[in-house]
């Protein structure tokens, strides 16, 4: 008896002695887990702060408010108001004339060229579009905000170090003096950069925009959604509700799960070989991009839809069959409507994944330099992630802020789509 009591006392002592170590291990595990979470949040915060810090300035653009004289002798000497005559006029001369009047002492070919380079090469086209829209401007003087060159824009925004040696900056001392004088006169102004959202791509950073890429992403996602949602849901319904349980369906299920883990560039190679080389569909078209992204997102939608169908309680099916409904009526009148919120959530997450993909679209030629905004799924186009990739490879400093701004827009779309998916799941979710 005494031996048993002694043995129990020893066991209790051992347990009590180990409790301190167990609590210490649990505490260390919690600290490590919390540290990992905080470290992840720190890196994500640094990434977001860096992107926003570099990109927010792209949403404003430097302009020069100049008094422009729409000289009828230059635009329409005969006064016919012929659109072809108006389109052939020398608007570059009209745009540069106000600067010439502000700096009458500038002489010499090199200095004149430097002075004229303060304005963007798109300023003459800005005046042309205004005259084409309103020919009554001919013969009048108007104060117009003309686009400044990207180097001037960078200098005004503080991205060019004025104290750096002249050979290390793109703006010389004379141009800095001219810009400072214009700023003192209140001619240099910053305005919201609407061209960033409406223009297509351009070699000139101050004229480049994401309008074409956003339209291309829209058409690409439209094709992807139109194909992947019905096909994915139909495949999930068949596999979950109607397919016989045998080795073939098990093989299909395993392959669908494996396809979800295949690198996206493999789908790009498949699309290049099948849709472009075999079927002869046009390169760089959102239609082909949508087909490739459909192949990539189908496994995600099928897996999410099957999980949603499995979550519907068997009692729903048994009750429907019990009152005389057929298998088809049970599935499409009761099971699928109840599983639809989960299906839509999986589809939205799949669309968000497709929106951020770049690699498969590079393989089908959507990396081309395309200025025009696409008018349909068959027009050549780029997409937002590929536009980010193109700008990130450009050496001009102004493209750095536009790259970051495009990333901000892309992340905003992704966050909005995921938020919409969460809201839909919470609103239509049913607990059994």
pLDDT in tens, 147-162: 999 999 999 998 888 8
Integer Cα distance of 108 and 352 in angstroms = 56
Is a pLDDT exceeding 90 seen at residue 291? yes
The whole-number pLDDT of residue 161 equals 85
Band (7; pLDDT cuts 50, 70, 90)? low
Residue for token digits 């720190």?
42
Stretch 362-372: mean pLDDT: 82
The whole-number pLDDT of residue 353 equals 84
* CA 406 distance to own-chain centroid: 6
Residue pLDDT, tens place only, 73-114: 999 888 888 888 889 899 999 999 999 999 988 888 888 899
Is a pLDDT exceeding 90 seen at residue 59? yes
Quote the percentage of the chain above a pLDDT of 90.
45
Beta-carbon neighbour count of residue 419 at 10 Å? 11
Decide: residue 79, CB within 10 A, 0-12 exposed, 13-18 middle, 19+ buried.
exposed
User: Which residue intervals of 103-246 are DSSP H helices?
Assistant: 109-116, 123-133, 150-156, 173-184, 195-198, 211-237
CA 29-31-37 angle, to 5 degrees, is 105
Stretch 19-42: mean pLDDT: 92
The whole-number pLDDT of residue 144 equals 92
Stretch 120-134: mean pLDDT: 92
What are phi and psi for residue 361, nearest 5 degrees?
-75, -25
Band (4; pLDDT cuts 50, 70, 90)? low
Burial 326-343 (b: 16+ CB within 10 A, else e): eeeebbeebbbebbebbb
Is a pLDDT exceeding 90 seen at residue 358? no
Stretch 202-212: mean pLDDT: 90
The whole-number pLDDT of residue 187 equals 92
Is a pLDDT exceeding 70 seen at residue 193? yes
The whole-number pLDDT of residue 431 equals 66
The rounded mean pLDDT for the chain is 88
Integer Cα distance of 250 and 243 in angstroms = 10
Integer Cα distance of 130 and 125 in angstroms = 9
Is a pLDDT exceeding 80 seen at residue 425? no
114 near 134, Cβ under 8 Å? no
Q: Please count the CA atoms within 13 angstroms of the CA of 340 that sit on its side-chain side.
A: 10
- Residue 29's H or E segment, with its range, is helix 2-55
Band (3; pLDDT cuts 50, 70, 90)? low
Secondary structure (3-state) at 106 = coil
354's CB contacts (< 8 A; 6+ apart) are 220, 221, 224, 293, 296, 297
Integer Cα distance of 294 and 231 in angstroms = 9
The whole-number pLDDT of residue 432 equals 62
Q: Among candidates 209, 206, 214, 211, which has minimal Cα distance to 396?
A: 206
178 near 48, Cβ under 8 Å? no
- Residue 402's H or E segment, with its range, is helix 397-428
Band (222; pLDDT cuts 50, 70, 90)? very high
Q: Among candidates 397, 366, 363, which has minimal Cα distance to 384?
A: 366
Is a pLDDT exceeding 60 seen at residue 2? no
pTM assigned to the model: 0.83
Distances in Å between the Cα of 263 and the Cα atoms of 158, 270, 305, 353 are 41, 12, 22, 13
- Residue 67's H or E segment, with its range, is strand 60-69
The whole-number pLDDT of residue 6 equals 58
DSSP 166-201: GGGSSS-HHHHHHHHHHHHTT-EEEEE-THHHH---
For the chain, how long is the longest CA-to-CA vector? 126
Integer Cα distance of 138 and 131 in angstroms = 7
* CA 63 distance to own-chain centroid: 26
Is a pLDDT exceeding 70 seen at residue 1? no
Band (292; pLDDT cuts 50, 70, 90)? very high
Integer Cα distance of 149 and 122 in angstroms = 9
Structure tokens at 121: 């090469």
Residue for token digits 């005494």?
2
Is a pLDDT exceeding 80 seen at residue 428? no
The whole-number pLDDT of residue 405 equals 93
Is a pLDDT exceeding 90 seen at residue 40? yes
Band (31; pLDDT cuts 50, 70, 90)? very high
Is a pLDDT exceeding 60 seen at residue 8? no
Is a pLDDT exceeding 80 seen at residue 420? yes
Is a pLDDT exceeding 90 seen at residue 423? no
DSSP assigned state of 389: H
Distances in Å between the Cα of 413 and the Cα atoms of 200, 355, 402, 403 are 19, 9, 17, 15
Stretch 119-145: mean pLDDT: 92
Quote the percentage of the chain above a pLDDT of 70.
97
Integer Cα distance of 219 and 292 in angstroms = 13
């Amino acid at each position: 008896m005494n031996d048993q009591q002694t043995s129990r006392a020893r066991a209790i002592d051992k347990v009590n002695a180990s409790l301190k170590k167990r609590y210490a291990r649990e505490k260390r595990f919690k600290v490590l887990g919390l540290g990992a979470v905080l470290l992840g949040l720190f890196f994500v915060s640094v990434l977001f702060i860096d992107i926003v810090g570099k990109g927010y300035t792209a949403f404003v653009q430097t302009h020069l408010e100049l008094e422009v004289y729409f000289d009828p002798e230059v635009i329409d000497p005969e006064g016919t108001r012929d659109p072809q005559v108006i389109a052939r006029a020398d608007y570059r001369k009209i745009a540069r004339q106000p600067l010439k009047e502000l700096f009458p002492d500038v002489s010499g070919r090199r200095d004149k060229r430097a002075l004229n380079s303060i304005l963007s090469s798109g300023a003459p086209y800005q005046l042309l579009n205004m005259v084409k829209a309103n020919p009554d401007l001919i013969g009048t003087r108007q104060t117009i905000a003309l686009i400044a060159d990207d180097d001037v824009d960078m200098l005004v925004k503080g991205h060019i170090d004025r104290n750096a040696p002249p050979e290390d900056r793109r703006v010389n001392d004379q141009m800095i003096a001219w810009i400072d004088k214009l700023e003192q006169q209140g001619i240099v102004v910053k305005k919201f950069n609407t061209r960033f959202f409406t223009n297509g791509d351009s070699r000139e950073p101050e004229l480049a925009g994401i309008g074409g890429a956003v339209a291309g992403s829209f058409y690409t996602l439209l094709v992807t959604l139109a194909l992947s949602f019905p096909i994915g849901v139909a495949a999930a319904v068949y596999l979950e509700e109607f397919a016989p349980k045998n080795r073939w369906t098990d093989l299909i299920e395993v392959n669908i799960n494996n396809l979800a883990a295949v690198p996206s560039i493999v789908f790009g190679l498949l699309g290049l070989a099948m849709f472009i080389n075999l079927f002869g569909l046009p390169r760089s078209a959102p239609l082909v991009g949508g087909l490739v992204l459909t192949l990539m997102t189908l496994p995600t939608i099928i897996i999410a839809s099957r999980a949603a169908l499995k979550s519907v309680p068997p009692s729903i099916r048994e009750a429907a069959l019990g009152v005389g409904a057929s298998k088809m009526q049970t599935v499409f009148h009761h099971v699928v409507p109840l599983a639809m919120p989960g299906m839509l959530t999986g589809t939205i997450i799949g669309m968000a994944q497709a929106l951020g993909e770049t690699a498969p679209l590079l393989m089908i030629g959507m990396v081309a330099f395309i200025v025009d905004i696409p008018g349909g799924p068959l027009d050549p186009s780029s997409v937002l992630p590929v536009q980010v990739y193109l700008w990130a490879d450009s050496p001009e400093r102004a493209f750095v802020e536009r790259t970051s701004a495009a990333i901000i827009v892309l992340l905003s779309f992704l966050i909005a789509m995921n938020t919409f998916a969460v809201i839909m799941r919470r609103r239509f979710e049913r607990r059994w």
